[in-house]
Chains A and B, each alone.
Chain A
């Protein structure tokens, strides 16, 4: 799928439940906000946090700059080497700050992109919203349920756009898959499974003074309980969002367990865990993560009575594929004791559709970047001053259930959502 096919797909879905209810944000590509070309119409963006993810988002914005009237006017990072790198990256054209508060006070901004450690998200997002700035914040939303709810409340009060960076929300393969699932192509959905397995110590920065030191806590923040829920928030949250989305509901409860059984280097977060989410209609979503074996890779499967969709590998499998006509007539003849001529010659080898044995690609030749599409959506929503509420709620529900899943692994209890955090959806 290229950009042209993608636009054809979204255009063909205009007005369907899929595009009005399940994933309304895709409509923005059919009806993009109108853009003036002048300096006064330019969307002014600031970037808070220019580490590994922040830099990727920055490059996506730069790519958008080629055909959208936007400007990256400010960058910010409180870690000196990244602050300096940000200045290099922008060629000095954006104003650089060590403190985001100074940035939002001194620079006129329409939107910010936040890619900082998890525990910093809430305060930064709330400050920006209260300053009247639209926010795109990396997933997950925040470190605690109270912070997540505070972000939600600040968003409601501000009337601004607040989007959470689950980029699969903007992935056309997921759009195409959701269409098939809702149309019943794989029959009734009876289970979901997912996993993210890697063989890595997950150390982002090695030049710290050792695990537990202040520098390591700042750099390798994903290892520390105060700052992150580890792989549950940094990896799993993506797929928890997908499960909510596919099953059209948030879970009823979550059970789980986790441990550190291999990387005993002083990290405070699980190096492996396993979860079971219960959804309405007696459907389960099981999910596990491990960092000491990569055999299974990463996957989310939607299991239906007639077929299986593997979202991460863009594949669909049928449970009972029909036999081709020649094989059908051959079997019939053999059963009837007849030997008739069987005309053969199906489709000849089409080499650009690399179908794996037993399955076929949902979207062959996929070449789009979902993070870039999400950024493009964000810019459009800034122009419109509003975004579909459902998009923000996807982030909210994924974030609350990320933290509830963490609680389940720590307590061993079957955890439900406390009423005070229930918003809707």
Chain B
């Protein structure tokens, strides 16, 4: 999944922790084998290879996940959309404005062009050249499965991290109390903008920038606004705290490309979820907790 996987299992004795870690790693690899669009044999690649109108029968797990994605896609008014890969490629290294190819690429994106038949449990693209990309979501999904696995063991607490953009904390911190996870200030690394208290939940962070060598924030242009088809311009990071790692991942992705009003209505729909946005395009960092 293009990231490093960490598991801290503080209360297990060494042999048991090691065995559990091997199981977790095996699960992560299993998901990677199934969901990676880079592996030609994966379930996702099999779907991505389909031409318009061609019916594919994804395995049960992938079909269920696609249905969950459709549900959140609807809930977020299309802000969460796994089919924007062609646009991502289009904007990669592109310094200029959209050209005549843009509309043609945009036409190949959009979850509405993926038909899911819940009775036959089949999927079909309605446009040629479409692609499902579980790149970011895979981590949230893996954490979801890992969470179930750990809850079925004798481990009382655990901290799991996927490259720090998706973390899961179960039970209590060994020193007592909840796990305190801070939202990093990218302009002053190591300083916390907002604190989440986790016991049995997950925090997922999405942002549309990277920090360059001189410490400045640069839009990496990988975050596409599914509505406009263009990279999301305002530099922001969104962290979402939810009990479900998968939901946290989906909502952080969606909220990054949503206006405040929409985020507020999502918060109303999911009152138990914390959504925090840090805006870096303003003169000072502005933190909004929804």
Residues of A within 8 A of B (CB): 321, 323-327, 330-331, 333-334, 337-358
Nearest A residue to B183, CB-CB:
A345
Known contacts A339-B173, A339-B177, A344 near B237 by CB under 8 Å: no
Nearest A residue to B186, CB-CB:
A345
Within 8 A of A (CB), among B52-77: none
A325, A331, A342, A352: the one within 8 Å of B92 (CB): A352
A327, A340, A347: the one within 8 Å of B8 (CB): A327
Nearest B residue to A348, CB-CB:
B207
Evaluate contact between B182 and A343: CB separation under 8 angstroms: yes
B207 / chain A contacts, CB cutoff of 8 Å? 345, 348
* Contact of B32 with A by CB under 8 A: yes
Give the docked Cα–Cα distance between A333 and B176 (Å). 12
Residues of B within 8 A of A (CB): 1-6, 8, 10, 28-29, 32, 38, 85, 88, 92, 133, 135-136, 139, 159, 161, 163-165, 167, 173-177, 179-186, 189-192, 195, 203, 205-208, 210-211, 220, 222, 237, 239
Evaluate contact between A344 and B203: CB separation under 8 angstroms: yes
Known contacts A341-B192, A343-B183, A343-B185, A351 near B4 by CB under 8 Å: no
Smallest Cβ distance from B24 to chain A, in angstroms?
Answer: 12
Evaluate contact between A321 and B4: CB separation under 8 angstroms: yes
Known contacts A330-B159, A347-B210, A348-B207, A342 near B182 by CB under 8 Å: yes
Evaluate contact between B6 and A327: CB separation under 8 angstroms: yes
Evaluate contact between A344 and B133: CB separation under 8 angstroms: no
Evaluate contact between A345 and B237: CB separation under 8 angstroms: yes
Give the docked Cα–Cα distance between A364 and B195 (Å). 36
B29, B182, B206, B222: the one within 8 Å of A352 (CB): B222
Give the docked Cα–Cα distance between A44 and B213 (Å). 49
Does more than half of chain A's interface fall in helix, strand or loop, or is it mixed? loop
Evaluate contact between B8 and A330: CB separation under 8 angstroms: yes
Evaluate contact between B184 and A354: CB separation under 8 angstroms: no
Evaluate contact between B182 and A344: CB separation under 8 angstroms: yes
Evaluate contact between A349 and B192: CB separation under 8 angstroms: no
Evaluate contact between A339 and B163: CB separation under 8 angstroms: no
A349 / chain B contacts, CB cutoff of 8 Å? 2-3, 135-136, 139, 163, 165, 206, 222
Nearest B residue to A326, CB-CB:
B164
Evaluate contact between A351 and B136: CB separation under 8 angstroms: yes
Evaluate contact between A341 and B182: CB separation under 8 angstroms: yes
Nearest B residue to A352, CB-CB:
B92
Given contact pairs A345-B184, A350-B210, enumerate 10 new A-B contacts (beta carbons under 8 Å).
A321-B4, A324-B4, A325-B190, A327-B8, A342-B180, A345-B237, A346-B164, A350-B220, A354-B2, A356-B2
Smallest Cβ distance from A81 to chain B, in angstroms?
Answer: 33
Give the docked Cα–Cα distance between A337 and B183 (Å). 22
Known contacts A324-B4, A344-B203, A357-B5, A351 near B182 by CB under 8 Å: no
Q: Which of A324, A341, A344, A346 has the most CB of B within 10 A?
A: A344
Evaluate contact between B136 and A344: CB separation under 8 angstroms: no
Evaluate contact between B28 and A357: CB separation under 8 angstroms: yes
Evaluate contact between A350 and B191: CB separation under 8 angstroms: no
Evaluate contact between A345 and B205: CB separation under 8 angstroms: yes
Evaluate contact between A341 and B180: CB separation under 8 angstroms: yes
Q: Which of B28, B29, B180 has the most CB of A within 10 A?
A: B180
Evaluate contact between A341 and B222: CB separation under 8 angstroms: no
Evaluate contact between B175 and A333: CB separation under 8 angstroms: yes
B32, B184, B206, B222: the one within 8 Å of A344 (CB): B184
Smallest Cβ distance from B205 to chain A, in angstroms?
Answer: 5
Smallest Cβ distance from A2 to chain B, in angstroms?
Answer: 9
Give the docked Cα–Cα distance between A355 and B139 (Å). 14
Evaluate contact between A339 and B165: CB separation under 8 angstroms: no
Evaluate contact between A357 and B1: CB separation under 8 angstroms: yes
B195 / chain A contacts, CB cutoff of 8 Å? 341
Evaluate contact between A351 and B186: CB separation under 8 angstroms: no
Known contacts A330-B8, A351-B135, A345 near B2 by CB under 8 Å: no
